[in-house]
Structure formats: structure tokens, C-alpha cells
Structure 1
Amino acid sequence: MGILQKKLLIVVLLACGIVVYSFHSFWQKDPGDPGESAVSTAPGNLPATNTTVNSPSGSEVVVYVSGGVNKPGVYKLPQGSRIVDAVTAAGGFALGADPVKINLALHLKDEMQVNVPYTVTAAGNGTPNSGASDSKSDDKININTASAAELDKLPGIGPALAERIAQFRTANGAFSDLADLKKVPGIGEAKYNQFKDKISL
């Protein structure tokens, strides 16, 4: 073999060695990169994060229970409670209370007053009321607890409007102000003035 051929063979071998080395280095490095990327970005490998949001404690309503109950006062009850729950919290009905005149199934509203009525003779310890002011007070109709039939007794309120008031109360909750009755369709200022002195909360 001539010197020229030997030199050519050496050059070819060196070139092949460089190609093999480069190819080997490429595969040694490249497979690691995707793996590292996968580890850093795969959702399953991310640090655990607590995403739980603590639910707020149940809302409460504060109501004033008065009238024919054993323990009148201000009570805090869970949201969604009804008048019957407020009466129970206040020690139940007192002697002489008239539960028929109050809607025990009505939902409570924050800052609401629940006034449990007495029978006609209860306030006087068995004796019918004789004072004019007491009689006037007893005649007032509680717009938060009265039935449609009782609301119908108010001046200017017929059966249809009385039913409308009851439906409005069911849909929007108890009235917090007497003047809120004017929000009921069909009750304007003039009609409201006809009975505003005969209603209570």
C-alpha cells in the first residue's frame, strides 16, 4: 500500500470517528432534555396545592320575638328558619297566646319582629280589654303574619289584592317596613293611607 493510500485511509478513519462521536454525543444529550421538560411541566409532577375554599359558616338572622311567648327577646337563628323556630327559641307560646293568628310557616328575615298575638281576653288576664288604645292596638293586622283572609279586612283591600300581598311576601320575604306594602302592584300612596294606621309588623 502506497503512502498516499495510507494517508487517505487515516483521513477516512478520522472522519468516521468524528461522525460517530458527534452522533453519540447528540443522543446522549437530547433524550434528557424532553425528560427534564416533561418533569417540569407535567401537571402530575407539580407540587400539591390546597385549592379547597373554606365554606363560610351558615348565615344567621337576628329577630325580635315579642307578644305571647314565654321568653320575649332578641334571638339569633340559622338562615332559613321559620317563625315556628323563633317561637320555640323564645320558650314557646305563653298562656293566652293565639297561634292561629300567626303564620308559623313564614320564613324569618334579618331584623324582623315576630309579635305573637294574644286572644282578646289574654292581655287583661281573662278580662276583656276596655281601654280604647288597647282595642285599637289589638285591631292592627300584622302584615308579616296575617293570612290573605285577614288582610282582606283592611280598608280598600279586596280578596284579590290581599292574595297579591301574601304572594309578594312569600316571594320577597317578610316586610321590614310598613311602607314596603307600596311595592305590591295595586297599592299606591292613596290606598296605603287608607289602612296604614291599621297595620303593624
Structure 2
Amino acid sequence: MGILQKKLIIIIVLACGILAYSFHGFWQKSSDDQARAAVLPPPGNTTTANTTANGTGSEVVVYVSGGVIKPGVYKLSHGSRVVDAVTMAGGFAPGADAAKINLALQLKDEMQINVPYAVVSVGATPGAPAVSSATSNSGDRININTASKAELDKLPGIGPALADRIIEYRTTNGPFKDITDIKKVPGIGDSKYNQFKDKISL
């Protein structure tokens, strides 16, 4: 066998080796990609999986106040509506103005649902709805049992912090039975009470 033939054989063997190595590398990469695709979740499912694992969004906590039978803080399942929260709070109280709130609105965590009372004109006939939750018979007093945080904040000497305490107190202990009971709220003494006693009602 001549030298030329030996060189030709060596070149052919090297070429075959290179082709075999290239094919093996390509096949190995394809196998790795398929294995990775099988392990990773499909796009778009990551958030859902994490949400399910952590329990985030499974329920919401809302505060129902105003014209309902049992005002208070309630837990409802995620996706519930305002009507579900009102139902859990015992339904509408006599005189509540259901048309003033959106019963179909979806609930959000830490949401407050304040059901207003219907406003009656002076000299209304017996049996008519009660006055607005934010007013008394005088037309300018704040009902401390049903007023929202924003309404309580309008009282002299009552800021956002005290408004929160008033709402927390009546949620825990039930409605105020006497106007002077508001002095049981931490931070409200005689002097502060005298600033707004003529502007509140039950």
C-alpha cells in the first residue's frame, strides 16, 4: 500500500470521527432540551402555581358598616361580591338605602362597605326610612354607630387615628348604647368629648 493510500485512509477515518462526534453532540443537546421542557411548567402557569401553593387570594377580609343587621369584619372567599358581604352581615337594616351601593362590585381585601340609610324630609310620615347614617334628626350630626372613618374624621378633635379606634371599639363591643360611651374609646377624654358632643348622635 502506497503512502498516498495510507494518507487517504487516515483522512477518511478522521472525517468519520468528526461526523460521529458532531452527531452525538447534537443528539445529546436535543435530549437535554426535551428533559428541561418536561420539568419546567408551561408559560403562564407560574403565578397560578405559586398562588395556589401560598394560598394567596383564597379569601378577603372586609368591614361591613352602616345599614346592616350585624355590622362587623367578615371573611369571604376570593371573588365574592358586595351582596355576599351584606348577606353575611345579616342583610339590610330597616331604612337602609340599598340603591346607593353597587351590590355586584367584587370584594377586595381590607375593603370597607358602608351601607347608607335613606334620607327623609322633615315631617315624614310614620314608618318612613330612618335618617341618613351620617346625620341625626338635626340634619347635621354624625351617627357614631354607623358613620364611616371619613365621616368621623370630620368631628372636631377626631383625626384618622381616633376614627379608626372608634370603629374598632364598636366592632369589638357592639354599637354605642349612649353618646357618652364614646369616652370609653382610648384617647377620648372629657375635654375632647366636649368638643364634639353636640355634633354626634346614635
Shorter-chain TM-score bucket reads 0.3 to 0.5
Structure 2 length-normalised TM: 0.40
Structure 1 length-normalised TM: 0.40
| Structure with larger Rg | 1
